[in-house]
């Protein structure tokens, strides 16, 4: 949706604004409460004893679910916006459907179809006037109805879920078989291929391998791949990076398929979310390859910006030691040395800051304020912007030319690729 759309709706006697245009939330709401537990109706043909037993089982299931939801959301170190994003992801992976306090799959599908048919404003008005409680309404999108949050937070979740639903591409009913797919590949002339980790895992390289070799049991790959952590202490990354160092002379049949599209003159652009650079090794031309999250193909000094082929740092990565910039080292070696005053700890070796060393040994000759930079593979770390080439290529060329998009080995959940 290209413009702001807000619907003023009345739920349970009060007016509420549901923001349908942005993932940005207002200030976190205080006083979060559990959703009310609705009473299950008595099914026809059941006696009082059976009904009481069913109620007890049902109540126990809900109590277990509420406890699990509370555990998921009881993390003061995670902001509400992130937890909402996680809940939306969970609603797609494990949707809350066909359970006592939500809609059935058929009912939820009918609601989503109605949403698409009449639009967000009309659908919200209809469901609001029908008196559907906001937590239950969220189950249309697979969201759990008993989260330990306030109704105001549920309204935010609803707006995000509606926006996500309306952004989804719908299946074209005329294409259903492998023959249909083959026909599309044969007749299309400008094909975009979007690929992810699924096309490389058969080769045995996967970022998730880092989970099993973490220095800290609580350390996650996402933490290793933050630019702040790398600049603070690159040793963590270099200790673990050997597990995902890509092979150079091997690629999967899927990479071969992408290369075949190129050889047939049909490949417009290959957008890859992988960092292994295997597409390049498989022969995809640089002008047809967009490495959305960067790759191991090159490395850059964090201090002076010196750019080298990625293979130059591979020996250090394999040895699990930090790779330092050769240009910085050469520049430091030509700086005129000078005598440095000794202190009381003249025999100690201390580290001033990342990439800079104060080696006060038996020699009095020291580099004058020289710092040796750390080489970083040109992978897009968390906290770094995606390459400009991604946006310019898609917006200025591919958006108008593409006649077919093939998605392989990715769930398309990571932005901005998910919004292509």
Report the distance separating Cα 392 and Cα 380, nearest Å. Answer: 17
Report the DSSP pairing between strands 14-19 and 6-11.
Answer: antiparallel
| Whether residue 293 lies in the annotated active site | yes
Q: How far from the centroid of its chain's Cα atoms is residue 367's Cα?
A: 43
Residues contacting residue 182 through CB under 8 Å, at least 6 positions apart: none
Omega before 286 within 30 of 0, i.e. cis: no
Report the distance separating Cα 233 and Cα 213, nearest Å. Answer: 17
List 350's β-bridge partners, or say none. 358
Tell me 177's DSSP state.
Answer: S
Report the distance separating Cα 344 and Cα 342, nearest Å. Answer: 7
Q: Could you report how far apart the first and last alpha carbons of the chain are, in Å?
A: 13
Residue located via tokens 């069913």: 54
Report the distance separating Cα 79 and Cα 71, nearest Å. Answer: 15
Give the active site residue among 48, 111, 212, 293. Answer: 293
Report the distance separating Cα 21 and Cα 158, nearest Å. Answer: 12
**Spatial CA neighbour of 25 closest among 105, 96, 85:** 85
Tokens of 122: 């009309």
CB count in 10 Å sphere of residue 278? 25
CB count in 10 Å sphere of residue 406? 18
Contact indicator for 168, 420 with CB cutoff of 8 Å: no
One-character DSSP codes across 189-247: SSEEEEE-GGGTGGGT--GGGGGGG-SSTT--HHHHTBHHHHHH-THHHHHHGGGGPPP
User: Would you please indicate which residues are annotated as catalytic (active-site) residues?
Assistant: 293
């Amino acid at each position: 949706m290209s413009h702001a759309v807000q619907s003023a709706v009345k739920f349970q006697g009060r007016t509420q604004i549901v923001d349908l245009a942005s993932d940005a939330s207002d200030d976190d709401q205080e006083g979060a409460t559990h959703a009310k537990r609705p009473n299950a109706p008595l099914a026809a043909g059941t006696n009082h004893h059976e009904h009481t037993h069913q109620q007890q089982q049902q109540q126990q299931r809900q109590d277990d679910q509420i406890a699990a939801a509370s555990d998921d959301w009881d993390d003061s170190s995670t902001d509400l916006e992130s937890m909402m994003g996680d809940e939306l992801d969970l609603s797609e992976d494990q949707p809350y459907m066909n359970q006592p306090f939500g809609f059935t799959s058929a009912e939820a599908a009918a609601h989503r179809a109605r949403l698409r048919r009449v639009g967000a404003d009309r659908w919200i008005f209809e469901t609001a006037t029908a008196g559907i409680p906001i937590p239950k309404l969220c189950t249309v999108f697979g969201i759990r109805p008993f989260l330990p949050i306030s109704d105001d937070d549920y309204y935010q979740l609803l707006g995000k879920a509606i926006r996500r639903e309306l952004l989804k591409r719908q299946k074209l009913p005329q294409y259903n078989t492998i023959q249909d797919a083959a026909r599309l590949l044969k007749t299309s002339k400008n094909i975009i291929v979007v690929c992810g980790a699924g096309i490389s895992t058969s080769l045995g390289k996967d970022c998730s391998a880092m989970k099993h070799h973490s220095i800290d049991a609580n350390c996650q790959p996402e933490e290793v791949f933050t630019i702040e952590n790398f600049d603070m202490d690159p040793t963590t990354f270099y200790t673990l990076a050997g597990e995902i160092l890509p092979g150079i002379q091997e690629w999967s049949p899927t990479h071969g398929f992408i290369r075949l599209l190129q050889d047939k003159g049909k490949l417009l652009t290959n957008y890859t979310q992988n960092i292994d650079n295997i597409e390049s090794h498989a022969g995809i031309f640089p002008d047809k390859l967009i490495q959305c999250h960067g790759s191991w193909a090159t490395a850059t000094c964090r201090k002076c910006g010196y750019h080298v082929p990625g293979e130059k740092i591979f020996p250090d990565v394999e040895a699990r030691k930090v790779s330092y910039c050769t240009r910085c080292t050469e520049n430091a070696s030509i700086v005129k040395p000078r005598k440095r005053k000794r202190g009381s700890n003249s025999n100690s070796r201390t580290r001033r800051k990342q990439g800079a060393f104060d080696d006060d040994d038996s020699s009095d000759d020291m580099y004058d304020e020289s710092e040796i930079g750390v080489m970083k593979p040109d992978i897009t770390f968390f906290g770094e912007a995606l390459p400009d080439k991604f946006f310019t290529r898609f917006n200025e060329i591919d958006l108008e030319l593409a006649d077919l998009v093939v998605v392989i080995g990715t769930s398309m959940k990571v932005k901005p690729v998910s919004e292509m």
